[in-house]
Amino acid sequence: MVVSNAGLINKILKLKKERNAVILAHNYQPAEIQDLADFVGDSLELSQKAASTCADVIVFCGVHFMAETAYILSPDKKVLLPEASAGCPMADMVTAEKLIAKKKELPDAAVVTYINSTAAVKAESDICCTSANAPKVVASLPDEEILFVPDMYLGQYVASQVPEKKYTFWPGYCPVHEGIKAESVLKLKKEYPAAKVVVHPECRPEVIELADEVLSTSGMCRYAALPDVTQMIVVTETGIIHRMQKENPQKQFIPVSKNAICHTMKSITIEKVLHSLETLTPEVTVPEDIRLKAIGAVNRMLDIV
């Protein structure tokens, strides 16, 4: 028997009520998941929502570190990740063991860790940051030396904004943003000379240099709504275009590359969301000793934004 999307969505909405669940989705999620969600946002907003929701169940349509962060902040809730294997390759480029070893080499450095990291890595960090607040977080620290983990490109962008610190960058990166080349942006700028260029700070420095604005995913959506922005070259994962176009149907959004796709983000489906709500699995948790250490780094960030 073929069950239509509308049938599946009705079942999800009914179960969501019964379970007192909330569906949170990242800006890169497939269009039908964004349309189904109670809230769509960037990593910072999703953490804030997870911390403040009064739902009993959080269905996290995103990747593993995002669901972990939700659990760190709301351990009394059931946090579900509809596809258990939806990870972030950048988050896996640093382990707690390797970070502990590096900290021994740099005993005076404050460890600033991008939210795209595992709970075990956050537990070894002084403070977290997201793409929405990284320069602000670093500028707020009294420390002169910074170990920035794991995104070297975001770290280099922060260094350009807060140059008075001494930086060591972990050699991690997002494969999706790393794959975006300056030539692609230059080509589109020639084709659409009036378009604004917005770039995610996970991009390479030579791509960031071409930006009119460097913004988090939700920052890009807010910028897209400005009255004087009518045409935009969007230099990040293509899933975000759905939200921009939906919120600004009269404007033109040009994706930098059709290949800028995060496949783990796209592994969440309507069927999997329904299965999660039916079975209350796959659940994401964090061992309590790690959670208690990690929440310090996350809350220090939330306190300053």
Residues making contact with ligand 13P (CB under 6 A): 27, 42-43, 116, 130-131, 174, 202, 216-217
Instruction: Confirm or reject binding of residue 89 to ligand SF4 (CB under 6 A).
Output: yes
Nearer of residues 201 and 282 to ligand 13P, judged by Cβ? 201
Closest separation in Å from C-beta 97 to ligand SF4: 21
**Residue among 118, 112, 260, 283 nearest 200 (CA):** 260
From the list 82-90, 153-161, 164-172, 189-197, the region that binds ligand SF4 by CB under 6 A is 82-90
Residue 131 near which of ligand SF4, ligand 13P, none (CB within 5-8 Å, type-dependent): ligand 13P
Whether 220 contacts 200, CB under 8 Å: yes
Nearer of residues 86 and 146 to ligand SF4, judged by Cβ? 86
Is beta strand 110-114 parallel, antiparallel or unpaired with respect to 145-149? parallel
Name the helix (H) or strand (E) containing 171.
none
57, 176, 220, 224: which one binds ligand SF4 (CB under 6 A) = 176
Span 253-272, contacts to ligand SF4 by CB under 6 A: 262, 265
Please give the C-alpha separations between residue 110 and each of 102, 163, 213, 303, in angstroms, as whole numbers.
Answer: 12, 15, 28, 17
Closest separation in Å from C-beta 240 to ligand 13P: 8
Binding mask of the shown chain, residues 125 to 164, with x at each position contacting ligand SF4 by CB under 6 A: ----------------------------------------
Classify residue 104 by its DSSP letter.
H
Please give the C-alpha separations between residue 28 and each of 96, 115, 243, 269, in angstroms, as whole numbers.
Answer: 27, 16, 9, 13
Whether 84 contacts 282, CB under 8 Å: yes
| Rounded-to-integer distance, Cα 219 and Cα 146, Å | 25
Binding mask of the shown chain, residues 191 to 220, with x at each position contacting ligand SF4 by CB under 6 A: -----------x------------------
The one-letter amino acid code at 174 reads: C
Closest separation in Å from C-beta 5 to ligand 13P: 26
Nearer of residues 201 and 282 to ligand SF4, judged by Cβ? 201
Which pair of structure tokens corresponds to residue 14?
């009914």
Closest separation in Å from C-beta 81 to ligand 13P: 14
**Residue among 61, 31, 75, 58 nearest 287 (CA):** 75
